[in-house]
Amino acid sequence: MAALGSSELGVLLSTLQESVDAESTLNILNVLDELLSAGTDRRIHYMISKGGSEALLGALVKVARVPTPNYTVLLPLLHLLAKVGHRDRRIGQKAKEVGAVLLTLDLLQQNLKCARRATACLWVLRVFCSSVSTAALIGKNRGLDIVFKLISPHTTKHIHMVKAAVDTLGAILHSKSNSNSAVSKGYVSCLLKLYEDWQLKDRGNAHVPIRRALLHCLHSAAKTAAGRDALVAEGGMALLFQTTQACLGTKCLESLIDSAVQLMRKCHPKRPLPLTSDQSFYSFPLPGKPVSSVPTDPEPRDDSFEDDSDDDSKTDEADHGEYDDDLETDLEKLRSRPEPDRPLEQLGQYVRLCPELHHDFPDLDSGSEVEGSSDEELDEEGINHCKQQRISRHQQERGSSLSTSPLEKQATPAEVKTSPIREGGGPAENHLKARDMHSRCLGRPRAKQDSHSMVDRLLERHGACIPNHDPCKYTAAAAQTKSIAGYSILAFPDFWGHLPPSHQEPMASRKPNVQRQKVLEDIQHFLCPEDVIDQVVFDLEDPSPPGLFQHPDSLRFYSKFECGNLRKVIRVRNCEYDLILNPDVNCSEHLQWFYFEVSGMQANVLYRFNVINCEKGNSQFNYGMQPVLYSVCEALLGRPHWLRVGSEICYYRNHFCPSDHQKGPSYYTLSFDVTFRHSDDVCYLAYHYPYTFSTLQTHLQMLEQSVDPSKVFFRQQSLCSTLGGNPCPLVTVTACPPSHSWSHLYQLRNRPYVVLTARVHPGESNASWVMKGTLEFLCSSDPVAEGLREAYIFKILPMLNPDGVINGMSRCSLNGEDLNRQWMKPDSGLSPTIFHTKGFLYYLSSIGRTPLVFCDYHGHSRKKNVFLYGCSVKETLWQSGSTVNTATLKEDPGYRTIPKTLDRIAPAFSFNSCNYLVEKSREATARVVVWRELGVLRSYTLESTYNGCDQGIYKVCQNTQ
C-alpha cells in the first residue's frame, strides 16, 4: 500500500468496525476496494496481515444483524470480503468465530429470488468453505439444499448466479460428510443430468466455466467410495466418455477433457489382477523358516508420487527438499563409530581373499584361484553333454507335443531371403543352419546331428565379432548356474551375444495427450466388455504353454530363462496384450523388471503391449525412455543389436488392484507399441539391456585370458555361496611388480585399496554394464588404467545378488528382502553375500588397510545422467535445519574430491545431481554403513540412468520423427 501506511490502514479498518453511519461505512469500503483493485495480491496480503479480514467480518455481522439490512452497504461489503477472503487461508475459521457463516447463509436464503444479492452471498460462502469444518457447518444447516436450488439446467439468464452456485456447491462438497449427504439425496444423478444438459445446449461453448464447475462438483462427490459408486451406477462413466469424445479436437475445451478424464479414472471400478495369488509364482525355502513364510520388506516405499496428468513438469525428480523429513539430525549418531558386528577371530577366513598380500609373485603367476571349469572342460563334448541335459529337462517341462520348435520355423524366412552365410550351399542349406542355430541356443533337439559342423562355423563366423563373449563358454557357464525354476533354456541374445548399435539412438518423442488416449481406451474397454477378447495366451502357472497351439493367431510368449520375467499374458484385442510381471521370489511386490521372448508376429503390423502391474509411481518411460528389443533374424543377418524400440510410450496409474482385493499398492501401466520388421521372427523385449550371471562368469573368464599376466595381476575368487548355491565372484585387479625385488613387492602390498560393488538390486542391469566397462578399462593398456593399477589394488564384487539376477527379480534376493538394507546386521544364513562383503571390509580395516574408496554401483529409473550419493555430517545437519551450529564442526571435505574430478573429466556425470545427505531410511545401506562403521570418508553410491544424458557431448536428443 504505497499510498497508505500501516497506521493509516489500521485507523481505516478500526473506523470500519466502529462506524454506525451507512454513508461512512460505504465510503471506507469504496476506498479499500479502490486500493485493492489498483494493486496486486501483495496489497491484499498486507491488508490481511493488518486485520482486514476481521474488520470486514465484523462489519458484515453488524450490517446484516438488523431486521432490514441495508444492501447499499451490504453488497459492496460482500464483494470486498469475497476478494480478501479468497487470499486468507483462515477466513473460514475467522467467520465461524464471529458468527458470520450462518448469518451469510440466512442472507442467501432470504434473497433466492434476487440474483444479484444471492450471487454476492454465494461468493462469500464459497471462500468460507476453504475450511472443511466450516463447509460441514454449512451442510448441517441445509446449505446443500439451499445452494442446489440455484443451479438450473441450461439457461441464458442469471449466468453469474448459476456459476457462483455451482462453485459454492463444489466447495461445500469438500467435506466428506456433505459429500455423503449429497450422494444419499441423489445429487450425483442430478449433477450428471445438469452437466449433460449444459454440454448439449452450450453449442457456442460460451459457458465452459459452468460445465467445468459442474465437473468439479462431481470430483468433490467422488472423493468418497459412495460417490464413486453412485457415479458409476447412474451411468456417469458412459455419459462422461461420450461427452469427452465430443470435445476432442476443440482446443478451448481442453480443460473439460482433462477434468472429465481424471474423474473417470477416479471412478473406474478397481479390478483385481487376474492371478490366483499376488505372491510370486516361485518360492524358496529359507533356512530356519517354513516354506509358506513370506518375509515382508521393511523398506518404506519412496515412490509415492502419482502423476495423473499429461503435464511433464509434474515430477518427483529431486530437489533435496524431498529428503528433509528423513534426514538424520542426531549429531552423535552421525559422528559415532559403532563397534564391529562380529569378533575379530572370525575375520581370519578372509585372508585367502588377499593373495596379493601373501603370495610371492612367481606363485601368483603360475596358479589361478578361479572357481569353475577349466578350458579343457569347455570342449565340445562337455558342451554337448550339458546341452543334452538341458534338452531332456526341456522336453519334460514342455511336453512331447513340442518336438518342433516354433523358433526353428521362424528363423527360416530371414535366413532364406538374405542370409550372409554362404559356405557352399543354397537356401535349403542356409535354412538348416539357421534352424540348427536356434535349436542349439534354446536347448531343443537339432533336426540333423550332422549339422554340428555348420553350427560351429556359424558360431565362429558371428560369435568372434562380440568382444569378450564366447557362446561355447557361455553355454558351459549357464550349465553351472542354479535357478529356482531349473532353467533349461538359453535366451538367444545372451547365448549369441550382441553389439551396440552403430549410431546414437535418440530418445522417444512423446506425443501430446498420449496418456489421455490410453486412459480413454481403458475406459472404453470397461464400457464395452464384449469387445475385449480376454484370452490367456501365456501363464507360468499353466504347465502347458496355451499360446503355442490353442491360439494359433496370437503372439507366443516365453520367459523361463535366466533373467526372464513374465508371469502371464492376456490378449485383450487382436494385436493388444496385457502383460503381468512376477514379483520377487518370496514377495508380493517389487515389479519393474521384464525380459521375455515373443514370436509368431507379422511384419509391419502394430502390436501394443501393456505391462499392467508396475509399481513405481513415475518412470523415465514418460520422458523419452524406451524398452529394448533383440531380433534373432537381424542377428543372423549380421546385426546382433539390442535396440530401443516403441512408440506411443506411456506410464500411468491404472485401475488394477491386488488379486486378494485387499488394500495395497497402486499399479501402473507401461504401454508401448512395437512394429516388427520380420514375419515369424523371434524377438526379445526387456526393460533394459539384460546382463545375466552367466554373462558375468563368461566375461570374467575371457577377461582373465585377455590380460598380460606379466603386467596385470588379475584374480577371480569366490567370496561365498549364495542362498541358491551360486558363487559370488570377487575380482582383484592391480599392477604386477616390475621385478621380484623386496622394494617392488613392498610397494605392491602397500597400495591403497579401492572396493567396488554392483548389482545388489537385480533389476538395475545398467549397473552391470557400468561395472563391465570398469573392469575392461582397468585391465586395458590405457596409460590412465596402467597408472591406476600401479597406484591401487582394486577389489571388485561385480554382482552382489546373483540369485536375484538369475531369477529375473527387481530388487530382492531369495530371502525376500532388499540386500541393500541389510548392511547394519547382515545374517550369514539369509544374506551371505552382504555378510561376507562386510566381513571382508572389516578384515581389511583390521590389518590397517581400510579402503580409500568404496563405491556401490546402482541404476536410477527416474533421473538422467550419472551421479554420486555420498555422506557428510555438516551437509546433512545444514539441510535438515538442525539447531547444531555447523560452522563450528570440522569435517574433511575430501568426500567431494571424486565428484568434482568426475564433473571435469566425464561428460555424462552430473555434479548438480549429487548429494551427500544421510537419511534415516538409508542408514542400513552400503554407502552409509561403510562410511559410519568403517570410517571410509569416500563411500559412495554411483547412480547411472536407464535413459541417457541430457547434458554434455552424450546428450541424447528426442526423436522428432
Catalytic residues: 943
Cell readout for 86 is 479468497
Cell readout for 203 is 453449442
Residue 680 phi, psi dihedral angles, 5° rounding: 55, 35
Task: Please report how the helices 91-98 and 100-110 are oriented relative to each other, as an axis angle in degrees rounded to 10.
Answer: 80
Residue indicated by cell numbers 595381476: 713
Query: Other C-beta atoms within 10 Å of 209: how many?
Result: 14
Q: Which helix (H) or strand (E) holds 249?
A: none
Those residues with Cβ within 8 angstroms of residue 114's Cβ, 6 or more apart along the chain or in another chain: none
Those residues with Cβ within 8 angstroms of residue 385's Cβ, 6 or more apart along the chain or in another chain: none
Strands, E assignment, 497-627: 535-539, 556-558, 568-573, 576-580, 595-599, 606-614
Cell readout for 917 is 545427505
Distance CA 800, CA 758 (A): 6
H helices present in 234-379, as ranges: 236-247, 254-267, 331-335, 355-358, 361-366
The amino acid at residue 147 is V
Residue 720 phi, psi dihedral angles, 5° rounding: -170, 180
Long-range contacts of 827-833 (CB under 8 A, 24+ apart): 829/287, 829/288, 830/286, 830/287, 830/723, 832/720, 832/721, 832/722, 832/723, 832/728, 833/719, 833/720, 833/722, 833/728, 833/797, 833/800, 833/801, 833/802
Q: Are strands 595-599 and 576-580 parallel, antiparallel or unpaired?
A: unpaired
Query: Other C-beta atoms within 10 Å of 475: how many?
Result: 23
Cell readout for 738 is 616390475
Task: State whether the Cα torsion 502-507-512-517 is positive or negative.
Answer: positive
Distance CA 410, CA 195 (A): 54
Angle at 334 between CA 331 and CA 338, to 5 degrees: 125
Residue 132, SS3? helix
Distance CA 633, CA 415 (A): 7
Distance CA 432, CA 448 (A): 9
User: What is the widest separation between alpha-carbon atoms in the chain?
Assistant: 113
What is the DSSP code (8-state) at residue 327?
Answer: B
Residue indicated by cell numbers 547434458: 951
Residues counted in the chain: 961
Check: CB of residue 77 under 8 Å from CB of residue 59: yes
H helices present in 779-909, as ranges: 783-791, 802-806, 832-846, 873-880, 897-905
